[in-house]
Structure 1
Amino acid sequence: MNDMPINGKWISAGADQFWTDIARHDHVVQLYENDGVFLDTLTGFIEATIHADENVVIIATDQHLSALEARLGTYGVEIERMISEHRFIPFNVEEIIAEFVIDDDLDEALLLKAASDLLTKAAYGKRKFKMFGEIAPTLMAQGYKDIPMRIEQIFDKVFHEHRSCLYCGYSSKLFNGDLSQYRSPVCEVHSKIISGSVKQLTHVLYQQMPSSLSN
């Protein structure tokens, strides 16, 4: 599967430059073809955040959290120390979802409370922060249709107000491997897309979403 950008050409940037400067205030999405590509990108995202002396919040499945921590360890990141210092702040996505999806429906007041709590934890020590989340894709995988987009829209507004980077990762399997979905509502709520078929530990291939070019 080859993911083609909307305007026919990816832009390349170093991972530190992309996550710290280019996408500093963006809502970024990646439709990835396999976990190897995704985990490399997420590792680069975390390393760039650490290099910038910022906190990073990761909301992911247990499987992804375990694989991520193992990868970070191989690159010399002292996970336990980072957690104890509130620099690396991991959450199980199912536990977060349970805070605001009640009886198969979204309670927006509880979602906003959960978002506020996450932001408070993210800003520990009055540091800047970035966040990765797979709340919406997890709900999509469970068969929810409307709730994932409502959550994306609310988080988009919250992070726009706080001017912090939010990175979301979706397996392309959720779209039957069809990356023409770059024009889907999922991607349109984001301001930048990054390639999902190339490993991006040290460099990122990205493109601005057309709807956000004037932002």
Structure 2
Amino acid sequence: MSTEPKRHHHHAVQFYGSDAELLNTVGEFLSEGLVAGQPAIVIVTPEHRDGIEQALESHLIDVRAARRLGDLIMLDADEILATFMVDQAPVGSLFRRSVGDVIEQTRRGRERTPVRAYGEMVDVLWKQGRADAAIRLEVLWNNLAETHTFSLLCAYSIGNFYKQTDRYQEICDLHTHVHPHEATVETA
């Protein structure tokens, strides 16, 4: 299978320098989908969970109601990683079963509706020094898009890529859209 992202789905990456920059992008991405009737799955670290909820509320999303109705699913990034990592590497069949099942459960009763997903699992892996595992996970997301309908936003701290321009380009190539770090845009 190709590692390139399928162009019929949206798989974006946000490189961020601050939590405020990240939360603004994530809040916009998720709220646009929720307002359009698209359910959202958020696979997040504890450090960003409250901030994402606040960002959604700033976009006039009733987070409690969305969660109660099953329109907003909040999951812990480390817990989800544990469901498909074996010997510090993501396993495709376990990933499809774990994350694919969450997507399908979220779509139940609205099969023609795409899901919006935001995930920090790749950033968690990268920060742990497991760049190859993060890249493999990006490929698994692209493979999952062949059988599931979703728009995905991933995020990486730009500090992860100091002197790693080849790896940075590799990450960019695995996405259909790239949101560069604000400082990168300002100085370009």
Same fold (TM over 0.5): yes
- Aligned alpha-carbon RMSD (Å): 2.3
The corresponding residue for 2:34 is 50
Which of 176, 180, 187 is the aligned partner of 1:191? 176
Amino acid at match of 2:170: P
Q: Could you tell me how far apart the structure 1 residues matched to 2:149 and 2:60 are?
A: 30
Give structure 2 stretches of 5+ with no counterpart: 1-6
More divergent stretch after superposition (68-77 vs 165-174): 68-77
Secondary structure of the 1:98 match is helix
1:109 aligns with 2:80: no
Counterparts of 1:163-178 in structure 2 under 5 Å? Answer: 163-176=149-162
Counterparts of 1:109-128 in structure 2 under 5 Å? Answer: 109-126=93-110, 127-128=113-114
1:41 aligns with 2:48: no
Decide whether the 8 Å contact of 2:88 with 2:133 is kept in 1.
Answer: no
How many aligned residue pairs are there?
A: 176
TM-score (structure 2 length as normaliser): 0.83
Secondary structure of the 1:162 match is coil
Which of 10, 30, 42 is the aligned partner of 2:14? 30
Decide whether the 8 Å contact of 2:11 with 2:152 is kept in 1.
Answer: yes
Q: Could you tell me how far apart the structure 1 residues matched to 2:99 and 2:143 are?
A: 11
Give structure 1 stretches of 5+ with no counterpart: 1-22, 199-204, 206-215
Q: Deviations over 1:160-180 (max 9, x none)?
A: 44342111111101112x695
Q: Could you tell me how far apart the structure 1 residues matched to 2:12 and 2:146 are?
A: 12
The corresponding residue for 1:7 is none
Amino acid at match of 1:186: I
Q: Could you tell me how far apart the structure 2 residues matched to 1:27 and 1:107 are?
A: 20
Q: Could you tell me how far apart the structure 2 residues matched to 1:150 and 1:179 are?
A: 17
Q: Could you tell me how far apart the structure 2 residues matched to 1:100 and 1:125 are?
A: 26
Counterparts of 1:1-215 in structure 2 under 5 Å? Answer: 25-126=9-110, 127-176=113-162, 184-197=169-182
Aligned-pair distance for 1:125? 2.9
Decide whether the 8 Å contact of 2:42 with 2:74 is kept in 1.
Answer: yes
Q: Could you tell me how far apart the structure 2 residues matched to 1:121 and 1:49 are?
A: 17
Decide whether the 8 Å contact of 1:54 with 1:129 is kept in 2.
Answer: yes
Call closer, same or farther: CA 1:113–1:94 in 2, change over 3 Å.
same
Decide whether the 8 Å contact of 2:12 with 2:179 is kept in 1.
Answer: yes
Q: Could you tell me how far apart the structure 1 residues matched to 2:149 and 2:100 are?
A: 14
Q: Deviations over 1:27-85 (max 9, x none)?
A: 11111111111100111011100121110111110111111112323443211110010
Amino acid at match of 1:165: S
Decide whether the 8 Å contact of 2:89 with 2:133 is kept in 1.
Answer: yes
- Moved beyond 6 Å, runs of 4+: none
Decide whether the 8 Å contact of 1:55 with 1:130 is kept in 2.
Answer: yes
Q: Could you tell me how far apart the structure 1 residues matched to 2:9 and 2:65 are?
A: 27
